[in-house]
Amino acid sequence: MGTTDLSHVHSSHTHSLRVCYEWLVPNRLQRYYAAGYLHFITTSCYQRRPLLDSRRSRDLFLQVLERVRRRYHFVVIGYVVMPEHVHLLLGEPERGNPSVIMQAVKQGFARRLLRSNSDRRQTKLAGNAGLGDHVWPWSSFCDYAEGRRGPVLVNEDRKAEMTVREVG
């Protein structure tokens, strides 16, 4: 269990906050694979550092995502790469499972980023995400809104279909 910064809370209240936090956050998440579901995944950079704050690092991430998509044969429905986190909407892979995919994406990106940054350290802090009123080019928005293909193939090899079934 990770530690939570409770420096702003009086010491007489920290025990109940920790117990409450531990009660609310499950120890072992249940993951359901091979049912044809879509998976919405959000992942943060190490210690929420802005490792994706440069054009070069975001492009590198998308190259790794596309390489993993081809290797594991899954559909990317949508994505957005922000300075310190990534959102992905993925179909079920033909090989492996979403956990294996995320392991491959994160390890592949980390290795390539470390290799490309071996001669310098990233110490820049992220300020404003810089979105403003323009289209963020590190997302699947352009694939849908403008019909042009981005660096990651989105929803094309096999169309993702969502079915609703009754539970009971």
The domain total for the chain is 1
The DSSP letter of residue 165 is -
* 126-149 per-position pLDDT tens digit: 333 444 455 567 777 777 777 777
Model's pTM, two decimal places? Answer: 0.61
Tokens representing residue 38 in the block: 């879509």
In a domain, 104, yes or no: yes
109 within a domain of the structure (yes/no): yes
Identify whether 141 is part of a domain: yes
pLDDT grade for 19, boundaries at 50, 70 and 90: very low
Provide, rounded to the nearest whole percent, the portion of the chain with pLDDT above 70: 63
Residues 6+ apart with CB under 8 A from 33: 92, 97, 98
Residue 124 has pLDDT above 50, yes or no: no
Could you tell me the residue range of the domain that residue 92 belongs to? 39-119+136-145
8 A C-beta contact, residue 155 and residue 141: no
